[in-house]
Structure 1
């Protein structure tokens, strides 16, 4: 089975310690080898995802950092990362995987929903939060992700009751689930299966949010 190579993590560790253009250019052939390995792994994950979901595109992010507006001027990211875009307007949410020594994780959900989507989600929670709470409380969800995460407002959004029983959910601005991995877990031959099982565990959450974001409060489809 395709897996993550120890040489990939080793290269990233050395890149973090030697994050300069001179060092990178000197070791670019090595980078190309590791990039090819990681691309093969991400494509295997894409293949796995399409056995139980419909993913139209994989995007592996460039290792080059945009330093124009950052205090951190190191030119390279000491990690590989990519996201998997679900197909059609009806399938909402996205999958993400990052491989970085000591800081690897996968994630899924809604990082920056636009104001229309955010209001629709909040209105759904205001009307009835029982279904989302049931999903978040399942053994599978808790096993893989623990809880839903994301930035929240300090108080109720305008137009919502601060005493509402679902105010903890209504205040949220992001709706993200994550799972962290140790280096030993990343290098384990079963890591690919763990990634796939984690992404599978997101589906009830994605299915619920997709239905919310493609219907109005009466349950009528808003998709042509």
Structure 2
């Protein structure tokens, strides 16, 4: 996979974000997309071998559309200046997402601002066994890649139905349960990049399994 060609394309798209430019370069885009789909196929096979509960997600289904949804976000540019791939996409659960963009590269997983029903289920799981989640996010392997979970989006007080002195009130106040790992672009060019993404997946897996169990049991 020629990742340098992908980033050159995304940078040019960012600076020429209109249909006429993409139409002129559509063949180039489709070639890059096909190449990346093949790379994601390799990742998909690798993760399926690693995790017995993995939900196979080939590159064709994993890669997100490059068009922004202007109906709901009319102020956004016509096209995204990144290519995202979401694997382990079992319906109703939190997936594992790789983001390669002109501006930033990161890996994330879990639930970002989930709908009310999902958030309620996660909080019920924390109420029942918050000790397990706390231990997972404090584990050295988790902290190494993801640090501490972001708290900027937390509720200012306890969610409805929970006391302010609940032993896991800091977790219950969360509106997002997402592990986030920033990557330097240079990492993507390294020959062991596939191994690196696999390591991040492994470090995140217990966290995602906990959350997915709360929303599926």
Shorter-chain TM-score: what band? 0.7 to 0.9
Following TM superposition, by how much is the alpha carbon of 1:101 offset from its aligned partner in structure 2, in angstroms?
2.5
Pair 1:85–1:161, CA change in 2 (3 A): same
CA radius of gyration, larger in: 1
Following TM superposition, by how much is the alpha carbon of 1:8 offset from its aligned partner in structure 2, in angstroms?
0.8
Q: Is 1:174 aligned to 2:176, yes or no?
A: yes
Residue 56 of structure 2 aligns to a residue in which SS?
strand
Kept in 2: contact 1:102–1:183 (CA 8 A): no
Structure 1's consecutive aligned runs of 4 or more residues displaced over 6 angstroms after TM superposition are: none
The CA RMSD over aligned residues, in Å, is 2.1
Q: Distance in 1 between matches of 2:90 and 2:37?
A: 21
Unaligned runs of 5+ in 1: 216-224
Q: How does 1:182-221 map to 2 (within 5 A)?
A: 182-215=184-217
Following TM superposition, by how much is the alpha carbon of 1:69 offset from its aligned partner in structure 2, in angstroms?
3.3
Kindly provide the CA deviation profile for residues 71-114 of structure 1, in whole angstroms up to 9, marking residues without a partner as x. Answer: 4352111111121134487xx42111111023011111022434
Q: Is 1:98 aligned to 2:99, yes or no?
A: yes
Q: 1:69 aligns with which of 59, 69, 72?
A: 72
Q: How does 1:67-146 map to 2 (within 5 A)?
A: 67-87=70-90, 92-146=93-147
Q: Distance in 1 between matches of 2:187 and 2:27?
A: 27
Q: Distance in 2 between matches of 1:205 and 1:4?
A: 32
Q: Distance in 1 between matches of 2:216 and 2:68?
A: 35
Kept in 2: contact 1:107–1:177 (CA 8 A): yes
Q: How many residues align?
A: 211
Unaligned runs of 5+ in 2: none
- TM-score when normalising by structure 2: 0.87
Following TM superposition, by how much is the alpha carbon of 1:131 offset from its aligned partner in structure 2, in angstroms?
1.4
Following TM superposition, by how much is the alpha carbon of 1:10 offset from its aligned partner in structure 2, in angstroms?
0.6
- TM-score when normalising by structure 1: 0.85
